[in-house]
Structure formats: structure tokens, C-alpha cells
Amino acid sequence: MTEGRDEPALSTAEELALARLALDEGDLRGAADHLTAALVQAPTLPEVHEILARIAAASGGDLDLFPLGHHAFVGAVVARAHLLAAAGRPAEGLDLLVAATGHAPGVDWAGVPWVTAPELVERLDPDRAARILMQICAAVPDPAPRATRAPLRPYLTLARHAVDAHPDHALLLGAASALARRIGEVTLAVTWASRGVRAQPSKLGEVWLGYAYRSAGRTRDALAALERAVGHDPDDLAVYADIAGTLADTGRLDQAIGWIDRALARDPGFDCAVHTAHRLRFLRDGDVAHLIALADFVRDNPDDTHEHGDLAECCRARPWLGQVTPAAGAMVDALRRALAADGPPGGAVRLAALEPPSAMRTVTAAVPGLAVEVTGVADPDPREPRRADACPLWRYDGTVAAPTLPVPSTAAADRVSQLAHPAWPHPPAAYDAAVGLATLELTDLLGLLVHPPEAPATALGRVLAGQDPSLWVRCVQVWACLGLLHHRTDEPWPDSTRRRVLVELVWGVEDWITEAALFALVTAAWVHPEVRPDVARVVAERLGDVATVARVRPVPIAVSLAHLALATPALDPTTTALAHRLIGDGAVGPHRRGILTRLWRRLTAPFRRP
């Protein structure tokens, strides 16, 4: 469906006025066009339906005035639904209303008298009514977001009338229960599903009852119903996955995995079982190898029966798996204090050791009045690259760093500003999203690392600018490095420009860029199994170097690199143990963790799914 015409939108009153004028002139097509535009804006307004009735009377109920096609206008779909109902074909009309609900669930398409009239069910076969209710359920999430529940209530009224008319129809009772559950009417859902199972025991009925019990918090009853469903049909492995998910929600991971193993024994390639198995095993032991195996399965099986969210669920809010980690160090702590304080920005910070150049430049730019004193430069000198052949991005005048590269093009800055975000569903999704940077020149991608553009004037940009500008800089650096993964992809990995540049960045001056480049390499390993041994070797060498340096001086990026190591495919056990030790040694204190948690909640609030 489409939302409407390309012309500037008129108000409902203006559209209705034009529809009346067209009717008076005998232009039924024009009247229909304006009526459908008004219907989209005010689907329950009596004046809209009055003019629709006039058009129907003048045209003899001509449905062709509201055509359906490959790109049907949603207003035409809804108008046609009302005409079908008026012509004694309410089931067909409901099918179209449900389609409109699926297209725009938050609009009250069904809030009209004929849908909620008790006599409607007299013209609906109960099987057809059940199928309509199931179509509604398929069109909305479970549970439905609160903002979309009110527009679904007319359908619930229809379900009540249908159940009253056919109190022992098992399929209808189960479908009605599924709709009630989505709207939050959990007690009603349990009542209807229970009646359905009593009327006619079946696998589907027990599944509906199990879901209703689960929504009501009655886990034991839910599991009993789902296990009875397995008894009806032992080959429906999706129910095994439902049981496993229910057990996992109550912390019974071993039992949950036992059910998934039973499903996999019957069909090792069943997608729901594979997704659930990897998710549950990751929840049990935290080994990222389970998520990498799941990512491999997703890549090798693009035609799954339906979309799964297990990988994204496991990666959500985890360092580098699903989000940029906030920067650590005295400079960014001073930045956060300055932004949180009332009054003009300023103050002073005294550093016992020089911090990453990105941190120094970001903080001094964000807090111009901040006085920074560096009392010493410890060995190994953090101003020197960790390897001589590293990419030279910075030059130092004493303890003040300046970029060696020119400012990137405006086009490159605009492109990364559109893409950069501190969160992603999982590393392969971040890789796919970064393809939008594939056409940028290498000099631009490198320039973005040291000349990040200002945060955009969006909800995301405003939150970052007001709460923690360092996070925006890190976003730009991460996405620029992900863009490097798409540079000259025709070159074989071992001798490619993208690998060479990223490895040089990894071994450059200790900086946020080190983290961004290493994340890009780790992402490449997630997406391309053949590069995993090479990337694991680079990660192991870089983390080993960090651990060596950390014995003699602070390394602000150490904990973040350790989290990156734990996200790396095929990492050796020794490096894995080293990463855990570095995270433990550099654990975030309770006070700072609270600050970052509050920031992250505020940052992601506008972008969370409803």
C-alpha cells in the first residue's frame, strides 16, 4: 500500500469540500480521490462516511472508483472495504480493513459502526471470522504496543460478538484469545483459550492456551499446555522452541536446552531450534562462539521461514557486539562532569599521564574553558605508534596532538553523519549498513577519523552533543573504519588495501581509532570466516601489547580492547583469559557505571522499538 498522492497534503475539511464539489459536477473519480485522502486523515469522521455513501449512491456502488493494485492507496482500500460491507459482503470488507491495519496499525480503521455491530456476526461464518481474527494477529506484534491497542479494540468487540454467537467453536475461541492477548486482555485470553481447548482439544488450541497462560504469568500452566501440544503433534518443532523459550525466561536454561536438543535431534536444520539453541547456550556460558555460529547459520540460510531476533537480542547493549563502548579516562570523566554541572563550562584537569589524542582534542573542543595540565609522559611514550610502520594520523608539539591529514570532503562528512549511530543489531548488520560508505575515497575515510564532523541536528545528535560529545566522535570513527571494510573489496584479503590500512591503524598511537579499527577487523571476521585466523592473530598480538604496556602505565583503551577480544571469532584460550583479566583489573566503578548507564538509557530512548 501507499500513503497517498505526491501533491502537498490538504486538510480533511479541504478534501471533503473538493469531494462535494466534484460530486456536484458529476466527477465521481475526482470525488473518490478526495474522499480517500480525507478518509486516511479521519477514518471515523461521520462526514467522511456521509460523502462515501453519496458516492456509492451516485455510482451504483462502483468498486472500481477505489481500485486495488500492486501499489494500492490505503485510503482506497479502506473505502472499498466500507462499500463491500454495505453491499452485504462484510467478510471481504474485513479482509481489506485488516490489510490496512497491518499497513498502519496505529490508525483506527475499524472504529466504525458496522464493524462493532452485534448483527455483523450473523453474516459471518465462524470459520471465516476466526481466519479474520488470525489475520489481525498476524499483522500486529505480540503484545501490541500500547499506542496501537485502541485501534484494535473494535476487532476485539467483533471477537466478543462472534464468540457469543458461536460459544463452542474452538478455532474461533483460540483466535479470539490470541487477539485479546495482544491487546493486553490477558484474563479474557485465558478464558477463551480454555473454552476452546475444552470444546475441541488440539495442538493449536493448547498452543493458544499456553501463550495466554504465559502472558498471565502462569508459567507452570503455560508449560503444561505447550507440552500437551507436543503430545498432539510431536513433529511441530516450533512448539519445542516455545517451551525452551518459556523455560529460559524463568532461568531454567539446562531444561530449556534439553528441549531444544530434542528438536534438533529430529531436524538439525530447523531454523527456530537452531536460533534458540545458540541463544540459550550463549546465555548459559557467555561464549561468543555460539553467536558467531548463529551468524554463520543466518548467512548460509537466507531463506528462513520467518525473521528471528535471537542474534540481535543477545548482542543488544553488549560492548561492541551491539554498541560502541563509552570512552574511559580522566579526560572524558572531566567532560561529563563539566556537561552535568550548572554554570559556564570550565574548570581544570590534571593528568599524571597523557591520554589518547582523540580524547584530548574532543574534550578541549567541547569544553573550551577547561584547563588541562599534563604532569608527565610515561614510557612507553603514548605519542609514538606501537609499530613503526603504523599509519601516521597525529603529530605532536609537546603534549598537544594535531592531525596529519586534511579535512575530509563535505560529501564524506554528510554521508557518515547520516549513518553513524552508537548501536547496531549485531556486527554483520553493522557491516551491511556501512556499505553506504563504500564509494568514499580512502583519504576521506581516514580524514574522518581525525576530523569528525559535528553531531547532526537530529534527536540522536542533540542527545550526544548535550550529554557526551565523545560518544559521537567514537561513532564517526567506528563507522569510518567499517567503511574501510568496503574499500576495494575486489582485492584478496591478505594483500588488500583495507586490511593493510586497518592493521596500520590498530598499531598506531594508542587512541580511540585503535578501538574502531580493531572493531572493523573483528566485524570482518564475523562476516568472512576465511579471515578469522588472521584477525584472531592480530587481536591476540594487540591485546598482548596492551597488557605489557599496562604493567608500567595506564592504558585508557585497555578494557575496551579486551571486550573487543571477547567478541573475536576463533580467539585462542590464552588471549581470552587475558581479556577477562584486563576487564577485571579495569572494572568500571559503581559511580561511573551509574553515570554511563543513565546516559545510555537517555541516548537510546528515542530509538528503542515501541
Cell triple for 267? 531436524
60: left (phi over 0), alpha (psi -120 to 50) or beta: left
52: confidence class by pLDDT, cuts 50, 70, 90: very high
Kindly write down the DSSP assignment for every residue of 190-211, as one continuous string.
HHHHHHHHHHS--HHHHHHHHH
Residue type, 331: M
136: confidence class by pLDDT, cuts 50, 70, 90: very high
Q: Let me know: does 208 contact 180? Beta carbons within 8 Å.
A: no
In this structure, the strands spanning 371-374 and 348-351 are: parallel
CA distance 512 to 381: 17
Q: Please give the tally of structural domains in the chain.
A: 1
152-159 mean pLDDT: 96
Sequence-ordered alpha helix ranges (H) in 216-288: 219-232, 237-249, 253-266, 271-285
CA distance 492 to 531: 10
Q: Let me know: does 283 contact 256? Beta carbons within 8 Å.
A: no
Q: Is residue 546 part of a domain?
A: yes
What length is written for the chain?
Answer: 610
Q: Is residue 97 part of a domain?
A: no
Q: Is residue 115 part of a domain?
A: no
At 503-520, the pLDDT tens digits run 999 999 999 999 999 999
Helix axes 330-340, 469-484, angle to 10 degrees: 130
Q: Is residue 600 part of a domain?
A: yes
Q: Let me know: does 504 contact 483? Beta carbons within 8 Å.
A: no
- Per-residue confidence (pLDDT) for residue 342, from 0 to 100: 60
Residues 6+ away with beta carbon under 8 Å from 515: 325, 474, 477, 478, 557, 560, 561, 564
If you average pLDDT over every residue of the chain, what do you get? 91
Q: Is residue 160 part of a domain?
A: no
- Per-residue confidence (pLDDT) for residue 50, from 0 to 100: 96
At 296-348, the pLDDT tens digits run 999 998 876 667 899 999 999 999 999 999 998 888 888 888 877 765 566 78
**Helix, strand, coil share (%) of the chain residues, nearest 5:** 65, 5, 30
Domain that holds residue 449: 388-607
Question: H or E element: which one contains 373?
Answer: strand 371-374
At 355-414, the pLDDT tens digits run 999 999 999 898 887 888 888 888 899 999 999 888 889 999 999 999 999 999 999 999
Q: Is the peptide bond before 143 cis (omega within 30 degrees of 0)?
A: yes
Q: What is the pTM of this model?
A: 0.83
Task: Find the Cα–Cα–Cα–Cα dihedral 352, 353, 359, 365, rounded to 10°.
Answer: 50
- Per-residue confidence (pLDDT) for residue 216, from 0 to 100: 95
| SS3 label, residue 66 | coil
596: confidence class by pLDDT, cuts 50, 70, 90: very low
Q: Let me know: does 195 contact 167? Beta carbons within 8 Å.
A: yes
Model confidence at 474: pLDDT above 70 = yes
